[in-house]
Structure formats: structure tokens, C-alpha cells
Structure 1
């Protein structure tokens, strides 16, 4: 097993162990709380007001840009508040502004992208945004409102793909894994339609903004779409079980698609990031992710050094 594969699968296994340990440890914490309660009350009666004011003054804060609203972020905000961090998420209009606004200093960081997308931004704009920690990875797949199987794809079928380079590449590689096309290996993880070396059905690739693809799911002019499972509105009732083909989100090749919280290099040492990471690992956040995304979005905890090393490799490749 490769190091990259271990990072992803081990992070999920580790999360499960941590959840079990939390349950086991809760009883012990409760006992300690009962014993300590009297001491806390005594301290407060003895003039603990100044200490409380000092704690309030020491609260940290972060303002993060996101590309879309996610209900589970409410759980992150609540967890962060409990840890002494005042967290504000600001939803901006598209997938460009969350990075440009962080680079300009308008925001402390952002939480919306995988490291492949981040590498493209840094390479194209000469910026140095860097991952602080990993958050989730989203399963992607091929979906259709009319076909029961990829075997039903006809000659000249029209398939919608994301129009941004990093997600276009991911979609093309998914179609290759599904046996629909073949892609030139030399293109790496960011192939374009020009890198398709075999297209036996003469599939037509319709490139549109990734966030709008679910809205085109029922378009009669499209035979299928390739997109993240979590992008669908829950009201659409489309889940991973409806996919004609689904990727392995924890495979070795999926590391570049791990989502991260990113910041500028010049504020990477802010102690608030460690508190925010702890908030993201909260069991309440994991439960909220499961409830909102029905198991199609997986919390992952990849070492930050691994994320930054992979980012540097992707940036070098993009620059070349």
C-alpha cells in the first residue's frame, strides 16, 4: 500500500477510533467534572471574575471565505466557540473570489477547495496560499436522469463536465476509469479534452461550471453528467447509489482531491488555526457531515506536511 493511500484510509480509521475513545472517556470526564465542580465554585466565590474577563479577552477569531453555504459549518462554528474561537464564514459568489480575497488580506483563510484546485490558483497567480489541515473528500461519479447503465450510452452522447481545469481533469479521469474514454498518461491529473486519446463512442464533452451541473441534471440535451455527489440539492434525491459509476474517494489517486482549510503563508502560524482544526474534528461536526451528505462526503485527517508536499508537486507540474 502506498503512503498516499495510507494517509486517506488511515485517517478515516483513526477518526473511528477517536469517536469510540470519546464515548469510553465520557464517563470518566463526568466523574472528574463532579469532583472539580466544587473547586470551580469556590474559585468563583473567591474572586474568579478577573480570570473570566481575562479569558474573554484572549478569545481568538478567524474570518473564512467559502464558495457555497454548508449546513455542517454551523456545527464547526459552535465547536469553535466552545474552544474559545470566534469563527465567521462568509459565502462569496464563485470559486475564484475565496482565493483572491484571502490573497489580498480580506479574509484570514478559506474552506472550499481541494489541493489540486489550490495548486492551479497558486501557479497561475504567483500566490503562496497553503493548506492548514484537511477537512473532507467528496465522492464523484457519473449520473444520468435517463440511462440505467453506462452500457446505454449511445454514439455521440453528450456528457456535462466541469469547466475549471482541476475538476475537468478529475471528471475525464473518472470517465477513463469507467471505461468510456482513454486519456494520455502524460497529461497527469489535469488532462483536457485534447488529451483524450480514445473516444470510441464519439462522446461530446459539454463543459459548464461545476456548481451548475446538478441544475442541468434533467436537461434533455444531456445524456449524463460528471460531478461530486454532494453538489446535488437534497431535494433532488440523487445519491451515490444513483451513480452509473462512482469513484473510490480513498484511493491512492484521490489525495489531490482532499479538501483543505487554506491561508496565506504569512499568517500560517496563527495559533487560531490549531483551534479551528480541533473544532473540525469535533464529533458534532462529523455527525453533521453525515446527516447533510448521506455518507458521500468523508471527513479525513491527512498530515499537513503531506498536503503541502503534494501541493508543491502539483504547483511545479502546473508551472511546467
Structure 2
């Protein structure tokens, strides 16, 4: 589709957001990693007269690093669906002495409840805003240990070619959970379709819409199921993450009527993270896992899988926890 609105780039001369700067740094690290790997291969060829499998970039035959006790570490991590990213993380982590078992759930409430119950050691599926809403609603203290990715979101339609085609009384699907539903409303506001009240905080609901000139109807649907209902003739548009669509649908950012700027400061609550119980936040396994996520092969797997719609970002644990605390405070005030 044409005539879609792209996210605004950082104005010339203005400093980039922290997320954008972290992405630039990640790209530089990835290039250095790829060059370093190539250097190892070339050196091997010069010394041994040829190449050998599994040793070019810390391959499976390389000596594995281990935990402080000299033994391999095993962790179970809950996710929301099998992916090339998970496969890459598992492969790279194994080279570092960390054996990762992924346990995937279709329902987004289950990875957190499984973590609280001790069925898994961590999860990797949610952004900070979603985690804050869960912690407050369930009186839990799950905490992020390092950042992973952020996904660009947008407005999509199976029948319309531009925002201008959205007519009176159009039905727009938005996620039915508090954090993603709020994100969808902010996106619709940024797209110029609605206005929210001035003091809505970070968790606005449809009740906070103060201007809705088109009389749009908001249809709450589970975020993971929105893509499967994309072609529903009763819906005029949907608001969802660009990477949520199945590859067979052949829908990407170019098909969006409007895209958010996922690397702006306003998007910080939507940084995904590996999350564990507060008592386990300092476990040495997370350093090994963070190193695996930083490997160039993981970035390559993510880029191929998401068509560049989801990117790895590097936000410190302190910043993640600070943002989490602010969001939890806002969520408690909302519920009080």
C-alpha cells in the first residue's frame, strides 16, 4: 500500500534518543563481531591450510565456558512462541556453558504465572509496561535483568489504503490488555484519529478519549490474535506490532497506514526484557544469557525472522527497573 505515514526521524542537529543510540551501538558491535569472526576464519585458513567446521565464531566444537563452579548451567525460559531468535539464543548460549530450554505458551498470562510458580527460571516475551501491570495486579515482584528487543507498531487495514480512507464509525481492533491497549490509543492519537485527555498517564483507556470526530468504535481483542482477525470484514483497521503477523500473510511495515517511532523516548516502556524473580536477579546465568543475545548471529536471526520490524536494544538493568518502578506507581494510582 502507498500513502502510509512513516515515523518521524530525529531532526538534524538534535540528540538521538537513548533507544536509538543503543541500536546504533548494537549495529557497531554486530559489525565488529562479524569482522572478528571473519578474522578467526582467515587466520585458521592461513595456519591450517583450510577451514574446519564449528570453530569460526565460537562454534559448537569450541571449548564451552562454564559457571563459577566449573559446571554447565541449565535454565528454563518461558516464551510466547517458537522462533528463529530462540533457536539462535539457545545455540550461542550453549557455547558459553548455558543450556537453555524454551517453554512456550500461547496465552500471555502464563509465562509470568509459570515464573511466579517456579516452573521456569525466567521469561522473555514482555515489555516493561506489560510487566508493571502484571506486578501490580498480582502483587508480585518480577524484575527485568537485561533488555532484549523492541517491536514497531502500527495501524493496518486489509481494505483501506490510507488513514484518510478511515470513515465515520470505523471499527478498529486494539489489544484488550491494559498496557498494549494504551499503546494502541497513543498510536491512534499520534496518527491524528483521536485525542486523549491531558492527564491520562501511561495507561489510558477508551474512556480517556476526549475527541473522536469520526466516532470510531474500538474493538478489544487479544494482541496475539489480532493478526489472525486482520481480514475480518467487520473490522476496518487494527493496531498491532509489525512482527505479530505470520510470514505467510506477507504483511510488513510497508503495508502500515501509520507507524510509531519505536526508538523514541516515549517508547521506552515498550522495551522487552528477560524477566526473573527478584531473588534470582543476580544469578550468573543472566550474564551468560545477555552475552548470547549480544552475539551477531542472534541479531542476524532476528532481522531475518522479523524483516527488521523488531530490533535488539541495549538498555541497562538499572534503567529498566527505574522505568518499571515509575510504571508500577502509575498503575497503582490508576487502580486506587
TM-score with structure 2 setting the length: 0.86
Task: Work out the CA distance in 1 between the residues paired with 2:214 and 2:319.
Answer: 39
Q: Does the 8 A contact of 1:8 with 1:255 survive in 2?
A: yes
Q: Work out whether 1:265 is the aligned partner of 2:278.
A: yes
Q: Does the 8 A contact of 1:5 with 1:252 survive in 2?
A: no
Name the structure 2 match of 1:45: none
Pick from 73, 80, 84 the counterpart of residue 60 of structure 1. Answer: 73
Name the structure 2 match of 1:21: 32
Q: Work out whether 1:164 is the aligned partner of 2:177.
A: yes
Name the structure 1 match of 2:89: 76
Task: Work out the CA distance in 2 between the residues paired with 1:271 and 1:55.
Answer: 10
Name the structure 1 match of 2:102: 89
Name the structure 1 match of 2:259: 246
Task: Work out the CA distance in 2 between the residues paired with 1:208 and 1:55.
Answer: 44
Task: Work out the CA distance in 2 between the residues paired with 1:168 and 1:296.
Answer: 20
Across the aligned residues of Structure 1 and Structure 2, the Cα RMSD in angstroms comes to 2.3
Task: Work out the CA distance in 1 between the residues paired with 2:240 and 2:149.
Answer: 16
Task: Work out the CA distance in 2 between the residues paired with 1:221 and 1:299.
Answer: 35
3-state SS, counterpart of residue 113 of structure 1: strand
Post-superposition offset of 1:33: 6.7
Name the structure 1 match of 2:4: none
- Where structure 1 has 5 or more consecutive residues not aligned to the other structure, the ranges are 38-51
Q: Does the 8 A contact of 2:76 with 2:120 survive in 1?
A: yes
Name the structure 1 match of 2:151: 138
Post-superposition offset of 1:132: 0.8
Task: Work out the CA distance in 1 between the residues paired with 2:66 and 2:295.
Answer: 22
3-state SS, counterpart of residue 86 of structure 1: strand
Task: Work out the CA distance in 1 between the residues paired with 2:321 and 2:206.
Answer: 28
Q: 1:318 to 1:235 in 2, by over 3 A?
A: same
Q: Does the 8 A contact of 2:79 with 2:102 survive in 1?
A: yes
Task: Work out the CA distance in 2 between the residues paired with 1:218 and 1:31.
Answer: 51
Q: Work out whether 1:299 is the aligned partner of 2:312.
A: yes
Alignment of 1:24-39 (within 5 A): 24-26=35-37, 29=40
Higher helix share: 1
Post-superposition offset of 1:28: 5.2
Name the structure 1 match of 2:303: 290
Task: Work out the CA distance in 2 between the residues paired with 1:54 and 1:247.
Answer: 40
3-state SS, counterpart of residue 154 of structure 1: coil
Post-superposition offset of 1:288: 0.5
Q: Does the 8 A contact of 1:7 with 1:303 survive in 2?
A: no
Task: Work out the CA distance in 2 between the residues paired with 1:54 and 1:176.
Answer: 49
Q: 1:34 to 1:242 in 2, by over 3 A?
A: closer
3-state SS, counterpart of residue 185 of structure 1: coil
Deviations 1:187-232 (A, max 9, x none): 1121000000000000000001111101111111110000001110
Q: Work out whether 1:127 is the aligned partner of 2:177.
A: no
Name the structure 1 match of 2:247: 234
3-state SS, counterpart of residue 288 of structure 2: helix
Q: Does the 8 A contact of 1:5 with 1:250 survive in 2?
A: no
Q: 1:54 to 1:220 in 2, by over 3 A?
A: closer
